[in-house]
Chain A
Amino acid sequence: MSAALRTNLALVALSLAALFAALWLGPTPLATPFADDEATRTIIWDIRLPRALAAWLVGAALGLAGAALQGLLRNPLADAGVLGLSGFAALGAVIAFAFGFATFAPALAVLFALGASLVVVAMGWAARGPASLALIGVGLSSFAGGLIALALNLAPNPGALADLVNWTLGSVEARSYEHVALVGVLFLIGAGFIFAAARGLQALTLGEEAAAAIGANITRTRSLVVLGAAACTGGATAVAGIIGFVGIAAPHFVRAVAGHDPARLLLPSALAGGVMLVCADIAVRLLPTDTELKLGVAAALIGGPVFALIAARLASRGGDG
């Protein structure tokens, strides 16, 4: 059995284990998740399962988008959150919510994520190193943040403000099967685009010109990843708000076991992203805080240091040259 297959099987097993744990563990203790009474059934099937599935799909979408963006931009610091895609997706959703056409929130999230990823890829292509790309992302993210504030400011219904601000912090609390279906469909569409770009990502290991010289169609690869990352990020953000760092951390951890081939990283990065977010969500639910800690906040608390670690390692290797 190849190392790649072993990694994928292990991550599928971990995903199932994490999902099972998410059904069992929570603020309301259950003696057994299989008890056949009304209350248990409601907790398991109507509350915990959709929430756990949403967490897994959001994590998988962000992990996959991160791995694909890293391959395209040849940069281990690339991630939908860091690069501002999540921020713009959230901006799209906020505009929809705040101005009373909530039905279109997912569509606007995808569209705005698409716009941001076009900008990032166009600018990132010319960026000289990992850090300069991250800087472009910082700029875009704060711009998105400013525009979200502006949208909230202008929102005709100030009563919804607290909800919206809360939502941008990132959470899968009280999500329904409709949310699961939404992020699931967009994840599958995004995955379709991204897996079609897998071979092109491998070629880009040689750099842009050499990749073209071995026969890769760079424009096609770039377009597929831009579309795929936008669908994944748009879907994840429309359902869960802004959740950062999963897209950086998942491929980073997977590289240690599955190697550096950017095509072989895609599937395990998605699986690892799912596992990470389900586990983070379990932790959030079990923490004895008065108000539940937001998943996006928890992801940032764990992911921020990982990001700093990777950046420091790159800098010490002279990777920004």
Chain B
Amino acid sequence: MSALLELDKISVKLRATHALNGVSLRVQRGEIIALLGPNGAGKTTLMRAALGLIPAAGARALGGADPAKLTNRERALRVAYLPQRPQSIWPISVEALVALGRFAHGAAPDRLGAEDQEAVDAAIEACGLNTLRARGMDEISGGEKARAHLARALAQHAPLLMLDEPSAGLDPAQALAVAEILRAHAAKNGAVVFSTHDIGLAASVARRVVLMHEGRVLTEGEPEKALTRDALEAAYGRPGRLERIGESYVALFR
């Protein structure tokens, strides 16, 4: 079976500097992959290049096609993207926001078919937003907003989820709830690529982590093998280690 995403030696130049320098990544169905690295390491650029939103050198394939040549609609049917700090410029209702995820299926928040409504309801349920669905996006908390945007991405029913810091600003319980949602998506034969600064969460959820630094991949693989003391120090500039506590991990720096 072909990979949902294949990046082969991708490079992106932003002004004079290499924002990405020869990064390769292959994502199969059922996988959860976490992108780690300090601010400016190239995580967001990697996602945007994978989506075809910015030009890049090297070979890219999103569901077997060059993402730069896909129409927005074709791309949206292959991958659901949640940008960092997602916006809702107008304070529409939570349900209307989630319904925007059905755009590529030809629906609109005020025009949902039975299948669209089902997808919206399921996404709202999965993200625990049932009691908030009629609320305006300006009437809910930051954590609830983040879940609403995640539900929007889920409602898109794309096999690949690409999420830029989906747990940023969430309390530990909410972050774990997001982790559960990602696992459920992978278990349904989908795949997830997400970036985070929560190394413990990444190691707990992802079977494979990609540690980035200055546009390159430092290490990649199972969390315990990829996130060694040396690798963490090389990436973040401070000595750190990954600790396993039961089924979970924490990263400690000093």
Contact = CB atoms under 8 A, between A and B. Distances in A.
Interface string B39-51: 0000000000001
B92 A261 contact: yes
B83 A215 contact: no
A68 to B, nearest CB: 14
Interface residues of B, number: 33
Given A205-B92, A206-B88, A261-B92, A213 B108 contact: no
B189 interface: no
B100 A206 contact: yes
Given A207-B87, A209-B83, A261-B110, A214 B92 contact: no
Interface in B83-108: 83, 86-93, 96-97, 100-101, 103-104, 108
Contacts, number: 87
| Prevailing SS type, chain B contact patch | mixed
B53 interface: yes
A205 B98 CA distance: 12
A218 B109 CA distance: 18
Interface string B162-175: 00000000000000
Nearest to A260: B90
A210 B86 contact: yes
Contacts of A262: 90
B72 A215 contact: yes
A260 B92 contact: yes
A195 to B, nearest CB: 12
Nearest to B105: A215
A199 B75 contact: no
Interface string A182-210: 00000000000000001100111111011
A263 B108 contact: yes
A273 B248 CA distance: 59
Given A199-B108, A215-B103, A206 B53 contact: no
B133 to A, nearest CB: 14
A16 to B, nearest CB: 25
A217 interface: yes
Interface in A247-305: 259-264
A202 to B, nearest CB: 6
A174 B44 CA distance: 60
Given A214-B156, A261-B92, A261-B96, A206 B86 contact: yes
A260 B86 CA distance: 18
Nearest to A219: B72
Contacts of A216: 72, 103
Contacts of B82: 210
Given A204-B89, A261-B96, A199 B103 contact: yes
A194 B87 CA distance: 23
A261 B95 CA distance: 12
B61 interface: no
B77 interface: yes
Contacts of B91: 260
Contacts of A261: 90, 92, 96, 109-110
Contact of B87 (A206, A214, A215, A218): A206
Contacts of A215: 72-73, 75-77, 103-104
Contacts of A202: 100, 103, 108-109
A206 B93 CA distance: 13
Of B53, B83, B108, chain A has the most CB atoms within 10 Å of the CB of B108
A212 interface: yes
A4 interface: yes
Given A4-B110, A261-B109, A261-B110, A213 B81 contact: yes
Contacts of B51: 213
A74 interface: yes
A207 B156 CA distance: 17
B71 interface: yes
Contacts of B104: 214-215
B89 A207 contact: yes
Nearest to A204: B89
A3 to B, nearest CB: 11
B100 A203 contact: yes
B110 A264 contact: yes
A38 to B, nearest CB: 50
A212 B92 contact: no
A214 B90 contact: no
Can you list the 4 inter-chain pairs with the closest CB atoms, starting with the nearest? A215-B104, A215-B76, A260-B90, A213-B81
21 contacts: A74-B90, A199-B108, A202-B109, A206-B87, A207-B87, A210-B82, A210-B83, A213-B51, A213-B53, A213-B81, A214-B80, A215-B72, A215-B77, A215-B104, A216-B103, A260-B90, A260-B92, A261-B90, A261-B110, A263-B108, A264-B110
Given A213-B51, A215-B73, 20 more contacts: A199-B103, A205-B87, A205-B89, A205-B97, A205-B100, A206-B88, A206-B89, A206-B152, A207-B87, A210-B81, A210-B82, A210-B86, A214-B76, A214-B104, A215-B75, A215-B104, A216-B72, A259-B92, A260-B136, A263-B109
